[in-house]
Amino acid sequence: MSDPKTTFANNQAARRVIAAIDVGSSSVRMCIAEVDPSGRYAPVETLRVPVCLGADTFTAGRLSSEGILAACEALGNFRKAMKAYQVEQFQAVATSAVREASNCDTFVDRVASATGIRLEVLDGMDETRLAYGVLRANLRAIPDFGDSDSILMALSSGSAKITVFHRGRIIFSEALRTGTLRLRQMLREAPRAKFVQLLDPVIDNVVASVKRRVPLEALVNFILISPDVSRLPALGAREGEAAGLKRIARDRFEQLAQEATALDPLELAERYALDAVEAETLAPALIAIDTFLGATQADHLTVLDVGMLDTLLAAMAGASLCAEADETDFVDQIASCAVGIGRKYHFDEAHSLHVSQLAMQLFDQLRSLHGLTNADGILLRTAGILHDIGMYISSRMHHKHSMYLVNHSECFGLTRHQMDLVAVICRYHRRAMPRPQHAEYASLTREDRLRVSKLAALLRIADSLDRSHTAAVRDLRCRLAGGRLVLEALSDEDLSLDAMALRNKGNLFEELYGLPVTLQRCASLET
C-alpha cells in the first residue's frame, strides 16, 4: 500500500499546504489543509493532544513544568507532521490558559526554542475579530437571523463569549471568565454528588449579571459554538450548507443536559467517546448552556461546529476578511456594539453619532496631514460614539468619567489595548490637552501617544461642530488656505456657538500641525 503522504504530495499540483495550531486550555490541536487557487481549503489531517494547561493557570496562576513539557512535546510532533506534509505556511496561536499565566512569556520562549514554532498569544477580543470572517457566512444561513434578536454563546474551556444581535447588528459583546474548565477547576474540591448543586447558583449569578445589561428574555435565536457539545451524537446531523450547522429542540436539549449531568465523568467518557478532560468539562458546559437558554424565548438551539482552527485556516486561505464588503460590515458591527455601550449609559445618541460622523469626515479629508491608518479611523469612530458616556456619572469632569467607563467596557472587534486608546481619546475631547504628567497618557508608547493626540485633535473639532447638539452642520468640507485649516460647513443655522467652541477646542490641532482652524458656514458645498 502506498504512503498516503506521498500520494498527497503527488496530487497537490497548483495547490498549497497550510496548517493552523491552537494551544488551548484543555488541548493542543493542529489541522493541516490544502488550498486550491480559488482560496477554498480542505483539511487533510487533524491532530489533537490533551494537554490541560488551563488546569494550571486557572488554579495556580502559572503553567507547570509538566504542562510546558507536554505542550512542547506535542508541538514538536506537530512540527514533524508539517514537514512530512510540506506545509508552506502555518499560524500558531494560544488563548486564555497561556495569556493569563504569569509565566506566559517563558512558555512562548520555551516553545520557540524547542520546536521553532512562534506562538501568537491572542487577546480575548482578537479571537472574536479573527472568528468573525468565518462566522458571518454561517450566521446568515440561520433562518430569521437578520429579522430577529439573537444570542451567540461561544463557550470554550477558558471563557464564555456572549454576543447579542438585534436584527443582525451587534448590541452587546463580552467575554466572561466562565469557561468550562475554569468552572470545573473552581469547584475541583467539591464532592461529585454536590458538583451540580454548587455549580447551579454560580451560573445563575452570571446569567443574572448579563440580564441586567441586555434583555435575554427578548431573544428568539440561541446560537452556540462549543467544542464540548458540538460533537455529541444527540445533536443529530448537519443541516444546510453552513459549516457544521446543527439544531436541537429546546426541550430535547434540556433532557440531554439533565441526563448527562446525572452521570459521572467515567460514564460520560464511555457514552460519548470523550477523553478525560472532555468528560470533566461536559457537565459545566451543558449546565451553562441550559441556564442561558432558559433565560431566552428560543425554542431550539443552533450549534455551529466552527472553531479557532477554521478561523486560522480561512484567514490564511484568503477566505476571511478579504472582501471590502466584509471589512465594512465588520467595522459597522464595532460601531453597533459601541452604540450598545452608549445606550447602557443613556447617552445622547443623536449627538454622539453625529460627532462620530463629522470626525470621520475630518479623518478622511485630512489623511495627507495625519498619516494614520484605517485601523486608527476605527478608534476615532468608536471614540466619537462614546466620548460623552461619562455624563451618566456627572456632567462635571465627564471626559474623565468617559475614560473610566470605556476602560471598563468591552467592544466587539476591539482588543483591550485598542479600548484603552479609545478611552484616552475620549478623555481629551475637552478641556486639558495631552500632557506627560497625565498617568494614562504617559503610560502609552511614544507611537500611541502621537496616535491618541492626533485622533483627539480631530474629535475635539468634531465635537465643537455640534456644540448645540442639534446636528446643525449637515456636511463638511476641509481645505487649506492662507496657512489655516478652513472648515466649510453646510448649514442653514447660525453657527456662532459652534465657532466659539471651535476657538476653544481647536488648540490641539493647531499645536500638532501648526494650522489654526476657522469655520465658514455655507449654503452649498458644490464646487
* Order of all β-strands in the sheet with 484-490: 475-481, 484-490, 517-522
Cα–Cα dist 513/133, whole Å: 38
Overall average pLDDT of the 4-14 stretch: 51
Q: Is the pLDDT of residue 331 over 50?
A: yes
Cα–Cα dist 372/377, whole Å: 8
* Of the candidate ranges 44-53, 106-115, 174-183, 375-384, the one whose mean pLDDT is the lowest: 174-183
Q: How confident is the model at residue 373 (pLDDT cuts 50, 70, 90)?
A: very high
Residue 49 CB neighbour total at 10 angstroms: 16
Residue with cell 488541548: 27
Task: List helix spans (H) across 303-442.
Answer: 308-317, 324-344, 349-365, 367-370, 374-386, 398-407, 416-427, 439-442
Radius of gyration of the chain (CA): 26
Task: Work out the widest C-alpha separation in the chain, in whole angstroms.
Answer: 86
Overall average pLDDT of the 195-202 stretch: 90
Handedness of CA 185, 190, 192, 195 (dihedral sign): negative
Q: How confident is the model at residue 291 (pLDDT cuts 50, 70, 90)?
A: very high
SS3 call for 49: strand
Same fold, 4-122 and 125-307: yes
pLDDT of residue 230: 80
Q: How confident is the model at residue 416 (pLDDT cuts 50, 70, 90)?
A: confident
pLDDT of residue 327: 76
**Residue that wins the pLDDT comparison between 326 and 460:** 460
Q: Is the pLDDT of residue 450 over 90?
A: yes
Show me where the domains of the chain are located. Answer: 4-122, 125-307, 324-469
Name the average pLDDT for the chain: 89
Q: How confident is the model at residue 321 (pLDDT cuts 50, 70, 90)?
A: very low
pLDDT of residue 340: 95
What is the CATH code for 125-307?
3.30.420.150
Cα–Cα dist 412/164, whole Å: 10
Rounded to 5 degrees, φ, ψ at 73 are: -65, -45
Handedness of CA 457, 490, 483, 369 (dihedral sign): positive
Q: Is the pLDDT of residue 304 over 90?
A: no
Q: What angle do CA 404, 329, 477 make, to 5 degrees?
A: 75
pLDDT of residue 133: 67
Overall average pLDDT of the 387-401 stretch: 96
**Domain made up of 4-122: CATH architecture:** 2-Layer Sandwich (3.30)
Closest CA to 290 of 244, 255, 246, 319: 255
pLDDT of residue 320: 44
pLDDT of residue 322: 42
Residue 131 CB neighbour total at 10 angstroms: 22
SS3 call for 323: coil
Most confidently modeled of 229-238, 271-280, 390-399? 390-399
SS3 call for 425: helix
Q: Containing H/E element for 475?
A: strand 475-481
Residue with cell 446569567: 207
The number of residues making up the chain comes to 527
Residue 271 CB neighbour total at 10 angstroms: 15
% the chain with pLDDT above 90 = 66
pLDDT of residue 508: 95
% the chain with pLDDT above 70 = 92
- Give me the DSSP letters along 181-250: HHHHHHTTTS-HHHHHHHHHHHHHHHHHHHHTTS-GGG--EEEEE-TTTTT-GGG-S--SSSTTEEEEEH
**Residue that wins the pLDDT comparison between 266 and 525:** 266
pLDDT tens per residue, range 425-440: 999 999 788 998 999 9
Q: How confident is the model at residue 166 (pLDDT cuts 50, 70, 90)?
A: very high
Q: Is the pLDDT of residue 246 over 80?
A: yes
**Domain made up of 324-469: CATH architecture:** Orthogonal Bundle (1.10)
Overall average pLDDT of the 230-234 stretch: 74
List, in sequence order, every residue forming a beta bridge with 161; answer none if it has no partner. 154, 175
Q: How confident is the model at residue 2 (pLDDT cuts 50, 70, 90)?
A: very low
Cα–Cα dist 266/280, whole Å: 9
Q: How confident is the model at residue 187 (pLDDT cuts 50, 70, 90)?
A: confident
pLDDT of residue 186: 87
pLDDT of residue 238: 52
Q: Is the pLDDT of residue 363 over 90?
A: yes
Q: How confident is the model at residue 241 (pLDDT cuts 50, 70, 90)?
A: very low
Q: Is the pLDDT of residue 11 over 70?
A: no
Overall average pLDDT of the 149-166 stretch: 91
